[in-house]
Amino acid sequence: MTVPHPFRNPDLSVAERVEDLRRRLTTEERIGQLQHESPAIERLGIPAYNWWNECLHGVGRAGIATVFPQAIGLAATFDTGLLHDVATAIGDEARAKHHEAARRGDRDYYKGLTYWTPNINIVRDPRWGRGQETYGEDPWLTARMGVAFVRGIQGSDPRHLKLVATPKHFAVHSGPEALRHEFDAIATARDMAETYLPHFRAVVQEARAEGVMAAYNRTNGEPCCASPTLLQRTLREEWGFAGHVVSDCGGVEDFHQHHGITETPEESAALALRNGCDLCCGCVYGHLGAALEQGLIAVEDIDRAFARMMTARTKLGMFDPPERVRWASIPFEVVDCEEHRALARRSAEASIVLLKNDGTLPLARDVGAILVVGPNADSRDVMFGNYSGTPSRSVTPLEGIRAAVAPGTKVWYAPGCAHTAENKPWLGANDRGIPEALAMAERCDAIVACLGISPQIEGEQGDAYNSEAAGDRTHLDLTGVQDELLAALLETGKPVVVVLMSGSALAATLAHERAAAVLHAWYPGEEGGTAIAGVLFGDVCPAGRLPVTFYRSVADLPDFRDYSMENRTYRFFRGEPLYPFGFGLSYTRFEYANLRVEPAECAPGQDVSLAIDVKNAGARDGDEVVQVYLRDDEATVRVPRHKLVAFARIHIPAGETRRVDLVVRASHFAVIDDDGTPRFEAGTFALTAGGSQPDGRSRDLGAAAWATAEIRLGD
């Protein structure tokens, strides 16, 4: 019997196996394993491996896969358990697709097990085109959702990772897209500690993410892909991260091509490797051999990175007999299965946010005749957002409504206009489609206007071909002539329900002021149309909440390039938003009572337990998102107006009451000094539990159920 090399012996420790493999490879071979297209080592039977894979909201770019709502929509669920289920399903499909591809010798892009997901950057500005990929503007919501997602895709097996999660883009990165290869994001130490770092720390320390992707830009003068502050002092020394770091694609070559901090590829590669970037997405690490010859790096630098990368592959079971790897037995039949389709529908239903309702919703199925109109009514591209897979079938809003109405109900359809105002009449790109829509509207009893934007208008640099700013937006309004279409529909006097679809905030003021109802459905995934119809006709009681602030205008925002948090997000914004963070209405009504906190007077570093009774006082069963906000009333330094510190989504039957128990971590009571150091100071805090932020705008919009308690923090 042939005895396997020790690196293939699953009974040895990971470190022993990695060291055995290191000794068997030449320096050149080890360098090859530090590039995202790692070549095969045929003499050892190690196949080629491509590290680049995506699974933002389903296995991406790799053929057929279940497409869940875009990440921002998943954030709107405020449901960490649901997100964990979604991530688990994604991990199962990824494993099944990988093993089937490997069996057929397919080692190409998007067929591996190392996934460059999730994107947990903070949406400090709604103009950023990639905000759709994130969990919104709040560090605590982002942390909890990020932890749930990472745990879901990496799995819970003590021996093997299901997938490698790679949270990105570490750490201060949120546009502008056009400048991402060259700009320097200047952030104060307080903003770093308070806003830009906490969620990354959570996914590293709590969820034990195996990978981290560094950002393209510089942060406070240091390129993120070679930042000693971020990659060494913060990530490894302070947080104890033991995994690997990968550059964003082309990020290392930016050093000499755009940032101007090095002059040659060898210098760029050496700078990144020395400072903790282990894997290069791109070609620059092909110059590490020359950098070694020039004395810019040492063999130990190569070996350190090699060990981290091979540790990941070993933890994934790539060198183990398949029968010893639990995840290798996941059948290919899980891909695009009915169970995952049902989960996609449930996720989309949970993500929809009801922003306004004068009583028109839910609609009757036998309403008579309905007009479904707008550029998003029957568009499949708008269902998916970016970084998506390809579902075997999908349901648009039009298709969902047609399937949901009662027999005999007439469903009319007209696009009305396109997203842009280009003069392409064969696409209905300007107001030439409005007269036809009005002809149908006059013959209908209700109108569902599906408006918004699309992944062609917002997205990553180079992807959103209808963007005015390399993927970003220059305004928050509905694009093209959509407002003209909506105004004409409103003039008919028929009840108009507006369904907004986008990956970011919209200033749909006309809809807010005059429509009978408004709901936001994000980019809702393959079952989005079914979910939208479910809310419209009352099968689903909406409970989504906004994970971002909906501002009234870009005039309310600071300069896009300014990374200061002053006057940004609900925590620091001084104006009145159109719709606030955390807001969302329901078809039922909830009451809060008997808020109890323990202890009411606590010591620094002590967690606080909270209990609240929540009653469904309406006539429908429904979900409620309980949100807990903390306000520091006596801080001696700048602190947020208030901040989310706990939340839970719960289901409560009509007429029943549920007790909700939550914990507010001690760290939330700390203030952040100018140098970024957290400390506790004695004072009084207000702790508020309710279905929204405890502010006037939430009350004005109909979400006024809160209970408040006072807490005293001692010396």
Query: How confident is residue 696, by pLDDT bands cut at 50, 70 and 90?
Result: confident
Q: Does one domain contain both 320 and 342?
A: no
Q: Does one domain contain both 353 and 300?
A: no
| Residue 427 confidence (pLDDT) above 70 | no
For residue 75, is it within any domain? yes
Query: Against a cut of 0.95, is the pTM above it?
Result: yes
621 with 653: CB under 8 angstroms? yes
| Residue 1 confidence (pLDDT) above 90 | no
72 with 352: CB under 8 angstroms? no
Q: Does one domain contain both 214 and 253?
A: yes
Across-strand partners of 270? none
Q: For residue 500, report the phi and psi dihedrals to the nearest 5 degrees.
A: -90, 140
Distance CA 269, CA 9 (A): 33
Mean pLDDT of 56-67: 98
| Residue 350 confidence (pLDDT) above 60 | yes
309 with 33: CB under 8 angstroms? yes
- Considering its fold, how many domains does the chain have in total? 3
For residue 332, is it within any domain? no
With residues binned 3-state (H G I as helix, E B as strand, rest as coil), the percentages for the chain, rounded to 5, are 35, 20, 45
CATH code, domain carrying 537: 3.40.50.1700
Distance CA 39, CA 33 (A): 7
265-274 and 299-315 are packed helices; what angle lies between their axes, rounded to 10 degrees?
Answer: 60
Distance CA 591, CA 694 (A): 14
Biggest distance spanned by C-alpha atoms of the chain: 84
Among the listed ranges 97-111, 413-427, 548-562, which one has the minimum average pLDDT value? 413-427
Which of 133, 248, 278, 695 does the annotation list as catalytic?
248
- Beta strands 369-373 and 446-452, pairing class: parallel
The pLDDT of residue 428: 44
For residue 568, is it within any domain? no
Catalytic annotation present for 206? no
Distance CA 384, CA 386 (A): 7
- As a whole-number percent, the residues of the chain with pLDDT over 70 amount to 98
Q: Does one domain contain both 543 and 616?
A: no
* The domain boundary residue, chosen from 294, 326, 358: 326
Q: Which domain holds residue 650?
A: 590-713
For residue 213, is it within any domain? yes
The pLDDT of residue 422: 62
For residue 661, is it within any domain? yes
Cα angle: 205, vertex 208, 214; to 5 degrees? 85
What 3-state class would DSSP assign to 244? strand
234-256 residue pLDDT tens: 999 999 999 999 999 999 999 99
Distance CA 190, CA 187 (A): 8
For residue 306, is it within any domain? yes
How much is the mean pLDDT over the chain?
A: 96
Distance CA 526, CA 92 (A): 18
**CA torsion 521→524→528→529, rounded to 10°?**
50
Closest of 203, 127, 126, 208 to residue 169, by C-alpha: 203
Q: Does one domain contain both 300 and 360?
A: no
Which of 458, 556, 623, 695 does the annotation list as catalytic?
458
Q: For residue 207, report the phi and psi dihedrals to the nearest 5 degrees.
A: -90, -10
Q: For residue 616, report the phi and psi dihedrals to the nearest 5 degrees.
A: -85, 100
Show Cβ contacts of residue 514 under 8 Å, excluding neighbours closer than 6 positions: 490, 496
The pLDDT of residue 431: 75
Show Cβ contacts of residue 644 under 8 Å, excluding neighbours closer than 6 positions: 138, 140, 141, 582, 627, 628, 629
178-218 residue pLDDT tens: 999 999 999 999 999 999 999 999 999 999 999 999 999 99
Q: Does one domain contain both 663 and 604?
A: yes
Across-strand partners of 602? 713
Mean pLDDT of 68-77: 98
Mean pLDDT of 430-444: 92
Closest of 503, 533, 149 to residue 345, by C-alpha: 533
* The domain boundary residue, chosen from 299, 326, 353: 326
518 with 508: CB under 8 angstroms? yes
Across-strand partners of 64? 390
- Output the DSSP codes for 419-454: SS--S-GGGT-SGGGHHHHHHHHTT-SEEEEEEE--
Alpha helices of 326-433 — where are they, by DSSP H? 338-351, 381-384, 397-404
- The beta strands (E) that lie in 184-334 are given as 184-185, 211-213, 218-219, 222-223, 244-246
Q: Does one domain contain both 597 and 509?
A: no
The H-or-E segment that residue 85 falls in is helix 80-103
The H-or-E segment that residue 353 falls in is strand 353-357
| Residue 135 confidence (pLDDT) above 60 | yes
Q: Does one domain contain both 313 and 421?
A: no
74 with 141: CB under 8 angstroms? no
397-404 and 528-536 are packed helices; what angle lies between their axes, rounded to 10 degrees?
Answer: 50
Q: Does one domain contain both 526 and 493?
A: yes
CATH code, domain carrying 196: 3.20.20.300
Catalytic annotation present for 248? yes
Show Cβ contacts of residue 275 under 8 Å, excluding neighbours closer than 6 positions: 226, 227, 228, 231, 232
Place of tokens 């895709």: 153
Q: Does one domain contain both 491 and 640?
A: no
* The domain boundary residue, chosen from 287, 302, 326: 326
Distance CA 565, CA 573 (A): 9
- The beta strands (E) that lie in 22-149 are given as 37-38, 49-50, 114-115
